Structure 1
Amino acid sequence: MKIAVIGAGGFVGSRLVKKLQSEGHEVGAHDRSTGVDLLTGEGVPEALAGAEAVVNTIDAPSFDEDAAPFFRTTTQTLLRAADEARVGKVVLLSIVGIDQVPDVAYYRAKLEQERLVEAGPVPYTIVRATQFMDFVEPIMSWTTSGDTVRLPTTRLQPVAVEDVVGTLAEAAATPPRNGIVNVAGPDVFALDDLGRLTLRVHPDGREVTVDENAGLFGQVPHDAIVAPPDAHLGTTSYEQWLQRSHHA
């Protein structure tokens, strides 16, 4: 099967390209470094020529209000080109719970992106993932001051990127759902407890204190970004992932 991956040089896209290739698919790996730019439209028709599916894994360059026009333009460009190229389906990587978090600009922008895909001319599958395990440490760094990490008790369900990539690969290779597939890690944590667990395995002198208003996740309702009951659950726990990364 011929599958185009947009954002192929990114955190998820690069792994997805390898996964699809290992499964025997013909993969077109595209991003701005290969001359494909969804903002300008440059190289997009050529990237999609002959493709049976296209997976969009690109991310906005910022988490603020600028995310909305970025996602709007790039998604409209991709949908228009996919329709003209008669691509069989579009697969979009998105985020669990974004329709429950109206106060976060980035989540509003991703929700608008989803709605463009849903209303677009090409059959689709939206893969919503919970927070990547790799991003827990950056989340902690955003609210670190000296030796103190301030974190709210917002509940997260961190997922291994490999589990998300597997779900994206399956979505690309199977008929479009014209709906949403959720993927999450096996365990739910309060964010402050997740921080403490991280520092037990990777101690660096910092300690976690609860601050319900700290950082982006202080704006997220308590259970908003925990996966719904029908989600696909990954097989890698956060503790397993921590131990593996600790010995890497």
Structure 2
Amino acid sequence: MKIVVIGGSGLLGSKVVQRLKDGGHEAVPASPRSGVNSVTGEGLLEALSGADVLVDASNAPSFDDDPAMAFFTNSTMNLIVAAKASDIGHYVAMSIVGCDQLPESGYLRAKVAQEKLVEQGTIPYTIVRATQFAEFTDAITASLTVGNEVRVPDALIQPIATQDLADEVALVAEAQPINGIVNIGGPEKISFEQMAGESLARQGESKVVVVDPQATYFGTPLSSGSLVVP
């Protein structure tokens, strides 16, 4: 099959492309660096010509509320139009586990808006909701650091290595669309406290990890299971 991966030069997208190529598919990475811009629509029809499957692994360049919403809505609308014109048989959209349960996050509201556009379209689809990338746990820990303390929410997180996620996304792309949502998470649900402790140990840091019921995840309050696969 010919499978076009939007965001195919990114951390996840590049791994999806390689996994699909290894599986014998014609996997095409599409991103602004290859002349394909989903926000403006530039190059989309050319990239999708003859394709069977579209995988959207793109991400907004800004996590701020309005720019994220503008990116995901404009990009998704352009992708849907181009996919219809190209007779794409399966639209695979990457999303985030629990996005519809955390409306205080503007970024996650944008992901929900993206999902709704895909669901309301006429193209057969699969939405893949994933847990947080394991490669980002150090950055998450840094975001929770206040002086010599790391103040973490009393919640769980389920990191997944991007290669493991890419393998799963490739399997979804190879399969028939389900017109629904697939949740994919890492092998273990751990506390933010454990995640931060392991991150600090890797970096040789001696900061203290404090469980703080008022701590937020990039400004968003969490319940215990907000970020893990149900």
* TM-score higher than 0.5: yes
Are 2:12 and 1:12 aligned?
Answer: yes
- Superposed CA offset, 1:47-70 (max 9, x none): 000000010000011222121121
Cα contact 1:140–1:195 (8 A) shared by 2: yes
Cα contact 2:141–2:199 (8 A) shared by 1: no
In structure 2, the gaps of 5 or more residues are: none
Deviates more, 1:151-160 or 1:192-201: 192-201
- Superposed CA offset, 1:131-150 (max 9, x none): 11111110011122333212
Counterparts of 1:36 and 1:213, CA distance in 2: 42
Q: Give 1:205's aligned amino acid.
A: S
Cα contact 2:153–2:217 (8 A) shared by 1: no
**How big is the shift at 1:166?**
1.1
- Superposed CA offset, 1:105-162 (max 9, x none): 1111101100100111211011111111111110011122333212111211111212
1:32 aligned residue? 32
2:42 aligned residue? 42
RMSD of aligned Cα (Å): 1.3
Runs of 4+ aligned residues of structure 1 deviating over 4 Å after TM superposition are none
Q: Give 1:8's aligned amino acid.
A: G
TM score, norm. by length of structure 2? 0.95
- Note the 1:204-219 alignment, pairs <5 A: 204-216=205-217, 218-219=220-221
Cα contact 2:53–2:92 (8 A) shared by 1: yes
Q: Give 1:216's aligned amino acid.
A: Y
2:71 aligned residue? 70
Counterparts of 2:178 and 2:227, CA distance in 1: 22
Q: Give 2:225's aligned amino acid.
A: D
1:243 aligned residue? none
Counterparts of 1:63 and 1:154, CA distance in 2: 22
**How big is the shift at 1:29?**
1.1
Percent identical: 42
Counterparts of 1:212 and 1:154, CA distance in 2: 9
Report the secondary structure of 1:54's partner residue.
strand
2:229 aligned residue? 227
Are 2:60 and 1:53 aligned?
Answer: no
**How big is the shift at 1:193?**
2.1
Report the secondary structure of 1:219's partner residue.
coil
**How big is the shift at 1:211?**
2.3
1:94 aligned residue? 95
